[in-house]
Amino acid sequence: MERKIRNLTKYALIEDIGSGDVTTEATVPTDSRAAAIILAKQDMVLAGLEVCQEVFQFLDPAIEFTSFVRDGDRIRTGTEIALLSGNTRALLMGERVALNLLQHMSGIATQTARYVEKIEGLKAEVLDTRKTHPGLRELEKYAVRIGGGKNHRFGLYDGILIKDNHIKVAGSITKAIEGVRKKSHLLLKIEVETKTLDEVQEALATKPDIIMLDNMQVDMMREAVFLIHRQALVEASGNVTLETIRTIAETGVDFISCGSITHSTAAVDISMKLK
């Protein structure tokens, strides 16, 4: 992951700084030094310390970064997250990008943790989706893990998920699975999307590794889980909210995927102050 963090960091800094920080370069001497505190301004599950540190050290490898907490810690408003010291220009020029990432990732971890808590004690795990912000998928999926969720595939390249459109074009679930068995490489599992109990039956016959129940009512989900009877893993998908997730989990599914933990989560409030 380090290389991707480094590339993203670089790109984000170029986006923000471009040809230079005209304000800082005109008001802060090249060799000025300072210390700064990064501070939580609300309760949260923290995620993103490594990329936050990388932003500043990309600008100046000599910046010292001491963190007082760790990714995954549940911290309260007022918690000092990290102390930075070093070149003042680098501190000021990295501030916005570092906070944008830290606030966004911690927002995702915090929201994921809320979902995970709701289904405590049940077998089901919270899964993420590919509904991420372009360019940020790896960081967002990391934040989901930090919040207690489990990752679904990272992209179209490292997992097979046969959806309704694939089935429609292939002709049937059986034909789609045959194609996939023939062309894919040795180490990929196969998941199939179903919308009705008939489709669940048809899918079962092809022995997929996982069956997805897409947008089913809770009653139908329960029947599907009964039908599948551990011959495949089961993923519930669609209309998952903090209100509905426990009921869904109680149907006995293995996984519940949830797009909003990545595409619609509010940033948490974190600030940086020069000391």
Q: Give catalytic residue positions.
A: 96, 131, 163, 193, 214
Contact 233, 123 (CB under 8 A): no
Computed on alpha carbons and rounded to an integer, the radius of gyration of the chain in Å comes to 23
Q: Tell me, what amino acid is at 42?
A: Q
The three-class DSSP label of residue 117 is: helix
The pair phi, psi for residue 162, each rounded to 5°, is -85, 115
Shortest Cβ distance from residue 204 to its own copies (Å)?
18
Residue 137, token pair as written in the block: 């998928």
Q: How far is the CB of 9 from its own copies (least distance, A)?
A: 8
Q: Which two tokens stand for residue 108?
A: 């995702």
CB 85 within 8 A of CB 4: no
Nearer to its own copies, 219 or 264 (CB): 264
Provide the angle, in degrees to the nearest 10, between the axes of the packed helices 173-183 and 197-205.
40
Angle between helices 137-146 and 2-17 (to 10 degrees): 120
Give the whole-angstrom CA distance, residue 148 versus residue 69: 17
Question: CB-based burial of residue 127 (10 Å sphere; 0-12 exposed, 13-18 middle, 19+ buried)?
Answer: buried
Looking at beta carbons only, is 98 or 200 nearer to its own copies? 98
- Min separation Cβ 68 and its own copies, Å: 20
- Indicate the residue among 78 and 171 with the shorter CB distance to its own copies: 171
The distance of closest approach from Cβ of residue 167 to its own copies in the complex, given in angstroms and rounded to an integer, is: 8
Residue 186: how many other CB atoms lie within 10 Å: 4
Is the Cβ of residue 2 or residue 219 nearer to its own copies in the bound state? 2
Min. distance of Cβ 127 from its own copies in angstroms? 7
225: which 2 tokens? 């889980």
Residue 13 C-beta: closest distance to its own copies, Å: 8
**Burial of 256 from C-beta contacts in 10 A (0-12 / 13-18 / 19+):** buried
Q: Nearer to its own copies by C-beta: 192 or 219?
A: 192
Residue nearer to its own copies on the CB measure, 24 or 244 = 24
